[in-house]
Amino acid sequence: MKFSTKSIHVGEEPDTINGVGDVVSSIHLSTTFARKEAGKPTKGYEYTRSGNPTRMALENKIASLENAKYGLVFSAGLAAETTLFLSLLKTEDHIIASDDLYGGTERLFRTVLSGLGITYELRDLTETVPLESMPNNTKMIYFETPSNPLLRIVDIEEVSRAAKKNGIIVAVDNTFATPYFQNPLQLGADVVVHSTTKYINGHSDSLGGALITNTPDIFDKLKFNQNAMGAVMSPFDSYLTMRGIKTLAVRMKVHERNATEIVSYLKDSKKVRKLYYPGLEEHENHDIARKQMSGYGGMLSFRLNADNDGVNRFVRSLKYISLAESLGGVESLIEVPSLMTHSGIPREIRERHGITDDLMRLSVGIEDSDDLIEDVSIALEKV
Ligand SMILES: Cc1ncc(COP(=O)(O)O)c(C=O)c1O
């Protein structure tokens, strides 16, 4: 099956769920499943935390989109990350992570994992990874590509090759690209992470996360801890996410087309000092993006040629594009990372990595691009 066929059919084969021919998977709300014998579950399910038919249908669907064997879904992207780190790392292990990263992930490293004696460092992974300089206790390399919020691109194949020689696990957050534009497992990564809250669900109405792998040993540990730690996705959110995924391919095409049109418009604006979009030839990692992605997605960032007052006037003047955290929904959202999604990172670290108050991150929705460009152009006049 090709991508769109899988996104519609995997996990929703009529009759496999309850035998009456539904073409849409049912929502199994029951937290527990009756058995005929005490010793074993009758149809494979015993308690929803350890397994639920709706959640497992979604897990199969998401795994198939990454061309993978195993998928697991969680109550949030951060719950998936927490389960990943606590399953595969222990005290005195070390993580090397990219230096442009969702603020919540950096906070997880800095507070929770550090508190458990798991150390981390943030590096520019867009440069080739110098193996000799990796501490001996490095157990995982973790990065987003494209990254949040500066849309930097890491060469997945290159990093995975270097890591593999040293027995280091590579985990890639594929939230921005989605499996429609990029499949990290095929490029050598061991685990793919998603915040399904974003494009995968796509309608800003369900929080969730996913871990996907082809390695049985990694899957066994993650699956065990999904149940042991309990951060599972609810049946209703699993249903919503299944519903959202069916249109992932068509949504991603429009997100990308609209983003490209807005980038072309912003490129010529004197009010914009710098533009970050991996599809731009002048983007510093464009060649790697072209090599490993089949499209560049719907996220872009830019620096306004303005002081804080100008930034406020700009975001207040937008009519269709809401000032809000999150991304990947059908509606366009803009945010100021330094004051919103990345405000938890101490200012000096943030600014060292280029997250200053003039930086805007735009999640381009699937509205009509003429309306979006008009909205942006009117707001830029107020700067
Ligand atoms: C790239 C990326 N990864 C992970 C997360 C965390 O996901 P969640 O908010 O679903 O916990 C986010 C949230 O914005 C994100 O942008």
Residues 211 and 255 in one domain: no
Q: Is the CB of 149 under 6 A from ligand 1?
A: no
Residue 371: what pLDDT? 98
Do 153 and 43 share a structural domain? yes
Are residues 290 and 317 located together in one domain of the fold?
yes
Give yes or no: residues 123 and 264 share one domain: no
- Among 245, 269, 290, identify where a domain stops: 245
Final residue belonging to a domain, choices 245, 261, 278:
245
> How high is the pLDDT of residue 131?
66
How far is it, in rounded angstroms, from Cα 143 to Cα 349?
Answer: 17
**pLDDT one-digit tens code per residue, 26-38:** 899 999 999 999 9
Predicted pLDDT of residue 18: 65
Residues 184 and 274 in one domain: no
At 334, which CATH number?
3.90.1150.10
Q: Residue 127: give the domain boundaries.
A: 3-245
CATH assignment of the domain containing 106: 3.40.640.10
Q: Is the CB of 241 under 6 A from ligand 1?
A: no
Task: Say how many Å lie between the CA of residue 249 and the centre of ligand 1.
Answer: 20
CB 199, CB 177: distance < 8 Å = no
Q: Give me 151's structure tokens.
A: 């849309």
Whole-structure pTM value: 0.97
Ligand 1 close to Cβ of residue 172 (< 6 A):
no
Return the pLDDT at 287: 97
pLDDT number for residue 345:
86
pLDDT digits (tens, 9 = 90+) for 39-80: 888 889 999 999 999 999 999 999 999 999 999 999 999 999
Residue 33 DSSP SS3: coil
Do 55 and 188 lie in a common domain? yes
Give residue-wise pLDDT tens across range 183-208: 999 999 999 999 999 999 999 999 99
Question: For residue 14, what pLDDT is reported?
Answer: 77
Q: Is 202 in the pocket of ligand 1 (CB under 6 A)?
A: no
Q: Is 223 a catalytic residue?
A: no
User: What is the number of structural domains in the chain?
Assistant: 2
Torsion-angle region of residue 204: left (phi > 0), alpha (psi -120 to 50) or beta? left
Is the distance from the beta carbon of residue 332 to the nearest atom of ligand 1 less than 6 Å? no
CA of 208 to the centre of ligand 1 (A): 9
* Residue at 150: amino acid letter: L
Long-range CB contact pairs, 372-375, < 8 A, 24+: 372/258, 372/261, 372/262, 372/320, 372/321, 372/332, 373/261, 373/262, 373/265, 375/318, 375/319, 375/320, 375/321
227 and 257 inside one domain: no
- Per-residue model confidence (pLDDT) at position 133: 79
Identify whether 198 is a catalytic site residue: yes
User: Are both 68 and 111 inside the same structural domain?
Assistant: yes
Task: Work out whether the CA dihedral 100, 103, 108, 109 comes out positive or negative.
Answer: positive
Catalytic residue among 152, 198, 223, 251: 198
Active-site choice (45, 70, 102, 180): 102
Q: Closest Cα to residue 323, out of 337, 304, 305, 308?
A: 337
Taking 70 as the pLDDT cut, the residues of the chain under it are: 15-18, 128-132
Boundary of a domain, candidates 245, 279, 310: 245
